[in-house]
Amino acid sequence: MAGYSRDEVEAAFIRYWQTGAVGEDWDAWANLFTEDATYVEHVLGRRNGREEIRAWIKPTMARVPELYSALGWYAIDGDRVVCEAINRRDDPTPGGTAIDFPGVTILRYAGDGLWRSEEDYWVPAEAAAATKRYQEACRLHDPEHPARRTRRHWPASPAWAGPARAR
């Protein structure tokens, strides 16, 4: 581990979160990885290098326009950040809240605002159950809901973990 300050690592994490999870700017998000970064998505496979990460993340996220990530918690330990990324869909049922399945992300910081690795963990059975519940709610209440890209249920804190309109 290099001697990065906690403030530097946290600032890089905030930028990472705001760019990807909140801003959904996947080109800019991919630019936050080193050219030789590794990305291990333990269900969907391994990516090597910034451009392979970019080539994968853009179509992957385009296939699920209704899905967004809410921050549950995060911890910083040296050059590592571990966080709960709650995979979330807004329930189209009148008065519906959110349909979630949890995930855990582990990031390794490389300095200069860049990440050298990311690992994502989630449980496929929980994802499948959440997807089924969401699809049924869409069928019953709003078949066009996925295209609406609603993002109604951001966490109240930290303030930077959601768009300004949600604060």
pLDDT over 60 (residue 64): yes
Question: Is residue 82 within 8 Å of 105, Cβ to Cβ?
Answer: yes
List, as one string, the DSSP characters of 80-104: EEEEEEEEEEE--STT--EEEE-EE
What is the structure's pLDDT at 110? 98
Q: Do 68 and 48 touch, CB atoms closer than 8 A?
A: no
Share of the chain above pLDDT 90, in %: 96
Domain range summary for the chain, segments of one domain joined by +: 6-152
C-alpha span between 107 and 116 (Å, rounded):
8
| Residue 2: per-residue pLDDT | 63
pLDDT score, position 87: 98
CATH annotation of 6-152: 3.10.450.50
How far is the C-alpha of 141 from the C-alpha of 51, rounded, in Å? 39
pTM of the model: 0.95
Distance CA 59, CA 42 (A): 18
* Residue-wise DSSP of 31-83: TTEEEEEEEEETTTEEEESHHHHHHHHHHHHHT-TT-EEEEEEEEEETTEEEE
